Amino acid sequence: MPKKKTQKSRKKAVREASKSSKPKKLLIVESPTKAKTIKRYLGDEFLVLASKGHIKDLPKSRFGVDIEHGFKPTYVTIHGKSSVIKAIKEAAKRADVIYLGSDPDREGEAIAYHVAQEVRKVGKNDIKRVLFYEITKDEVKKAIENPQEIDMWKVEAQLARRILDRIVGYKVSPLLWKAIHKGLSAGRVQTVALRLIVEREKEIQSFVPQKYWRLIAFFEKDGVRFKAVYQPKIEDEKEAKRLLELARQSEFVVKSFSKSMKSTAPPPPYKTSTLQQDASNKLGFSAKFTMRLAQELYEGVELPDGTMHGLITYMRTDSVRMADKAIAAIRKLVEEQFGKEYLPAKPRKHRDKGTIQGAHEAIRPTEFERTPDSLGGALRRELHKLYSLIWRRAVASQMASAKFEVRTAELTGNEGLSLRAEGKILKFDGFYRVLGDKPQDVLLPELVEGEKLKPVEVKLEEKETEPPKRYTEATLIKALEAKGIGRPSTYAPTIATLFEREYIVKDGRALKPTELGILVNDMLIPRFPELFDVNFTAKMEAQLDEVEGGKLHWQELLRRFYEKFSKELEKVESNISELKNASIQVLDEKCPVCGRPLVVRWGRYGKFIACSGYPECRYTRPINDIVEGVRCPKCGSQIARRRSKKGRIYYACVNQDCDFVMFNEPVGVKCPNCGFEIMGRVRKGRFKNKKIILRCPNCGFEMEEESS
């Protein structure tokens, strides 16, 4: 029904455009929400349609890249987009000018290019490219008044990236299907991200902790208790105990005491990666969820007064630069709300690092007057949290530095035993006034050189060296960015794919590789040492930037890549049996049917035990819990109780060639309605009304379970 309604409304818009005697201008964006917001700004002169993302892509059912003829791609209409293209072409026939307003990045440029191809088929050549870095009335009109040409270098950079990913996905993923099971995938960035997670896990598992001791003495003066620490790490227990006794017997003399003022400048406004990191650390949002919310804030939110407003600038950006008008707006707001002391003498200029795509700004609010408090009842909870994070970071980035008084003292005891004490007090909060997260004060009283102090307590802290921490989404994104792997727009979908393939799971907020993830990593990394090398992947990103900058032809990039990749691929394909054997674990047990050794294999539902003589011998049994006395109604194999990655219990056939699955506990009772061999036990109702029924997984028939 929703699809029909969309088509009907689209046809109505086209009819209205044809009836009007006034010349129509057609604007095509990629999102219906974006179209709705922009339409309110442009009025009746414009017809605004949405392509709903890409309209063309490489085919799903075949490779679609002619490697022998310059990597020529075959693009096809994406399923379900024929009606969208038809509506665009019909509207284009009646328009004097066509504007393409898809997102201002490589993907958006590719969308604009493919839409332009379709529009030209109806004889329309007056096509203009417009870039919306923020969806506000002034900026939308400004973009319309200053149109550009489609940036073919960006289009070619997107094309090169798409073909690179297609080559890796289509050539490497089938190797995993043959060796493990279908449905697995490898990816140019995805597999390198998995590599980082797996290698960190192996570091943790192989880590051998070493004991050490810290000597801490506590002193009091003027009612302030403070601590002083013996700086070197003590690695010998006897020495630690000797120093403990020495400190207890000592009267310490203040050898030196100093005070100084230090400033801390505010962090820059958010770019994509840092927004994802902070949203993960402070709000507990996944990268995927963060980007979904940010897209909503960018494209337009309907406020209680019925108006639509884009609340933030474009959310896929490498830049921390802000427009002069935005800086001026922040400075005005800071002076009015907090006073001149919170305003630096000159506007802050945060510098970008590396190659920045286009004229992007940082992620910032479009109108700083829309404070988080003013939107408290207008945005749903998660959206408001993210907007508040963005607003506070952008405003804080232009505020005065925080000022701290730092105190340092060195105390000397018997035998020259030296302790160090430090204090830090926030004297002026500066940008912390808006950003929050003020550091705690560490008190150290005023000391005088030569002053003598007796410790009120001395203790040893026994500690162990700790292994590196597992990655969280935030720290993984930080590592990927630091190593030059992928782009900000790829981080969220990359991590999401690792979860979907069940290569990783979350342990709290930490990312932990599954047994399957480790297996995939250990199969691919040694066999494709260059393809999935961290530095090689980063080099490919740099070359894609060169294509976008017009310094490298996209076909030359692909030629260089494929020359090396094909050699690695050919070597692996020539020894596919070795690859298959790498995923199989031989058990010290014989098959009860044919006497061959039993092995542990992988199937779509996890590991199971099978005969090594497959397919001649089809003996299998699950590693997971077997449901006793119930057999699969499709093939007669055993049924095992499983748990999904989200923790849901389900029941599946252990035969890897059988797709039988049910979600209720199987019971060996034949359905009286359709004759299906088993039924599922379902608990209905609550408390006193609770009862157990049997439900047929085939026809849905229900009946009460007979008591034994």
| Model pLDDT, residue 195 | 97
pLDDT per residue as tens digits for the range 44-72: 889 999 999 999 999 998 999 999 999 99
Do 37 and 142 fall into the same domain? Answer: yes
Contact assessment for residue 703 and residue 693, using Cβ atoms and an 8 Å cutoff: yes
d(CA 494, CA 504): 12
Q: Give the residue from 344, 395, 348, 347 showing the smallest Cα distance to 371.
A: 395
Q: Show the tokens assigned to 380.
A: 């749903």
Do 475 and 460 fall into the same domain? Answer: no
Contact assessment for residue 316 and residue 489, using Cβ atoms and an 8 Å cutoff: yes
Do 138 and 7 fall into the same domain? Answer: yes
- Whether a cis peptide bond, with omega within 30° of 0, leads into 32 is no
| Model pLDDT, residue 335 | 95
Enumerate the active-site residues.
Answer: 314
Whether the pLDDT of residue 377 is over 50: the answer is yes
* Bridge partner residues of 337 (DSSP): none
d(CA 446, CA 461): 27
CA distances from 114 to 67, 102, 108, 184 (A): 22, 11, 10, 30
227-235, long-range: CB < 8 A, 24+ apart: 227/421, 228/252, 228/409, 228/411, 228/419, 228/420, 228/421, 229/419, 229/420, 229/421, 230/417, 230/418, 230/419, 231/418, 231/420, 235/210, 235/211
pTM over 0.85: no
CA distances from 353 to 72, 161, 272, 305, 321 (A): 34, 22, 13, 41, 11
Q: What is the CATH number of the domain that holds 525?
A: 1.10.460.10
Provide the sign of the torsion angle of the four alpha carbons 479, 483, 489, 491, taken in this order. negative
Tallying the residues shown for the chain, one arrives at: 708
Q: Show the tokens assigned to 442.
A: 């560490």
d(CA 694, CA 671): 9
Do 391 and 406 fall into the same domain? Answer: no
Structural domains of the chain, count: 6
Whether the pLDDT of residue 437 is over 50: the answer is yes
CA distances from 616 to 593, 595, 612 (A): 11, 12, 9
Do 218 and 245 fall into the same domain? Answer: yes
pLDDT per residue as tens digits for the range 83-114: 999 999 999 999 999 999 999 999 999 999 99
| Model pLDDT, residue 577 | 85
Q: What is the CATH number of the domain that holds 315?
A: 1.10.290.10
E strands, 402-530, are 402-412, 418-428, 452-453, 457-464, 504-507, 510-513
Q: Give the strand pairing for 95-100 and 127-129.
A: parallel
* 126-130, 647-651, 656-660 — most confident range: 126-130
Angle at 174 between CA 171 and CA 179, to 5 degrees: 130
| Model pLDDT, residue 624 | 63
| Model pLDDT, residue 655 | 80
| Model pLDDT, residue 535 | 93
Q: Show the tokens assigned to 13.
A: 């818009």
pLDDT per residue as tens digits for the range 8-21: 555 555 555 444 44
Of the two residues 690 and 25, the one the predictor is more confident about is 25
Whether the pLDDT of residue 474 is over 90: the answer is yes
Contact assessment for residue 111 and residue 105, using Cβ atoms and an 8 Å cutoff: no
d(CA 176, CA 185): 7
429-445: average pLDDT:
94
Do 228 and 193 fall into the same domain? Answer: no
| Model pLDDT, residue 420 | 97
Do 294 and 200 fall into the same domain? Answer: no
Do 34 and 112 fall into the same domain? Answer: yes
Domain hosting residue 182, numbered range: 158-206+469-578
Contact assessment for residue 495 and residue 286, using Cβ atoms and an 8 Å cutoff: yes
pLDDT per residue as tens digits for the range 210-255: 999 999 999 999 999 999 999 999 999 999 999 999 999 999 999 9
| Model pLDDT, residue 16 | 52
Give the torsion through C-alpha atoms of 527, 525, 190, 70, to 10 deg. Answer: -30
376-398: average pLDDT:
95
Whether the pLDDT of residue 315 is over 60: the answer is yes
d(CA 354, CA 153): 18
Whether the pLDDT of residue 444 is over 90: the answer is yes
Q: Give the residue from 126, 224, 133, 677 showing the smallest Cα distance to 421.
A: 224
Whether the pLDDT of residue 336 is over 50: the answer is yes
Of 396, 412, 446, which residue sits at a domain end?
396
| Model pLDDT, residue 352 | 75
| Model pLDDT, residue 262 | 96
| Model pLDDT, residue 688 | 46
Do 450 and 301 fall into the same domain? Answer: no
% residues pLDDT > 90 (the chain): 72
Whether the pLDDT of residue 355 is over 60: the answer is no
Round the average pLDDT of the chain to a whole number and report it: 90
Do 140 and 12 fall into the same domain? Answer: yes
Q: Write the CB contacts of 223 (distance below 8 Å, at least 6 apart in sequence).
A: none
d(CA 679, CA 681): 7
pLDDT per residue as tens digits for the range 509-548: 899 999 899 999 999 999 999 999 999 999 999 999 999 9
Element (H, E) at 322: none
Do 298 and 344 fall into the same domain? Answer: yes
Angle at 307 between CA 136 and CA 83, to 5 degrees: 80
Of the two residues 582 and 528, the one the predictor is more confident about is 528
Among the ranges given (153-157, 200-204, 353-357, 686-690), the one the predictor scored with the smallest mean pLDDT:
686-690
| Model pLDDT, residue 227 | 96
DSSP state of 163: H
Whether the pLDDT of residue 357 is over 80: the answer is no
388-399: average pLDDT:
97
Do 415 and 476 fall into the same domain? Answer: no
Contact assessment for residue 51 and residue 88, using Cβ atoms and an 8 Å cutoff: yes
Q: Show the tokens assigned to 647.
A: 């923790």
| Model pLDDT, residue 1 | 40
% residues pLDDT > 70 (the chain): 94
Q: Give the residue from 83, 27, 13, 379 showing the smallest Cα distance to 37.
A: 27
Q: What is the CATH number of the domain that holds 102?
A: 3.40.50.140
Whether the pLDDT of residue 707 is over 60: the answer is no
107-129: average pLDDT:
94
Q: Give the strand pairing for 418-428 and 452-453.
A: unpaired
Q: Give the residue from 549, 288, 263, 241 showing the smallest Cα distance to 427.
A: 263
Of 646, 663, 680, which residue sits at a domain end?
663
DSSP labels, 200-230: HHHHHHH----EEEEEEEEEEETTEEEEEE-
